[in-house]
Amino acid sequence: MHHSIVLFDFDGTLADTFETGAALINEFASRFGYKTIDFAKKRNLSARELVRLSGVKWWQIPRLVRFFRRESARNANNIHPCRGVPEMIKNIAQSVDLGILTTNTTHAVECFLQNHNLESYFGYVKTGVPLFGKTRALRRAVRQLQKTHTLILYVGDEIRDIEACHAAGVEIISVSWGFNAHEVLADKNPSVAKSADELEQIIARRIEA
* 3-state secondary structure labels for all residues of 83-140: CCHHHHHHHHCCCCEEEEECCCCHHHHHHHHHHCCCHHHCCEEECCCCCCCHHHHHHH
In this prediction, residue 72 carries a pLDDT of 85
Question: Three-state SS across 151-186?
Answer: EEEEEECCHHHHHHHHHHCCEEEEECCCCCCHHHHH
Specify whether 52 is located in the same domain as 138.
no
In this prediction, residue 208 carries a pLDDT of 85
In this prediction, residue 183 carries a pLDDT of 96
In this prediction, residue 73 carries a pLDDT of 84
Number of domains composing the chain:
2
Q: What is the pTM of this model?
A: 0.94
Active-site positions?
Answer: 9
In this prediction, residue 2 carries a pLDDT of 60
- Of 28, 58, 77, the domain-final residue: 77
Specify whether 66 is located in the same domain as 12.
no
Over the stretch 57-88, which tens digit does the pLDDT of each residue have? 989 999 999 999 888 888 889 999 999 999 99
196: amino acid identity, one letter: A
Specify whether 44 is located in the same domain as 146.
no
Mean pLDDT of 7-21: 95
Q: Name the pLDDT band for 1 (thresholds 50, 70, 90).
A: very low
In this prediction, residue 74 carries a pLDDT of 86
Specify whether 68 is located in the same domain as 98.
no
Gap between the Cα atoms of 179 and 116, Å rounded: 22
Over the stretch 161-185, which tens digit does the pLDDT of each residue have? 999 999 999 999 999 999 999 999 9
Long-range pairs of 86-91 with CB within 8 A, sequence gap ≥ 24: 86/116, 86/117, 86/118, 87/196, 88/196, 88/197, 88/199, 88/200, 89/14, 89/118, 89/121, 90/121, 91/200
Kindly report the average pLDDT of the chain as a whole number.
Answer: 94
Domain of residue 183, residue span: 4-16+81-208
Specify whether 183 is located in the same domain as 107.
yes
Gap between the Cα atoms of 138 and 86, Å rounded: 24
- Of 77, 102, 126, the domain-final residue: 77
Phi, psi dihedrals of residue 133, rounded to the nearest 5°: -120, 20
Over the stretch 127-147, which tens digit does the pLDDT of each residue have? 999 989 999 999 999 999 999
Quick one: how far is CA 110 from the chain centroid? Answer: 15
Q: Say which residues have a Cβ less than 8 Å from residue 189's Cβ, sequence separation at least 6.
A: 162, 172, 173, 174
Specify whether 44 is located in the same domain as 11.
no
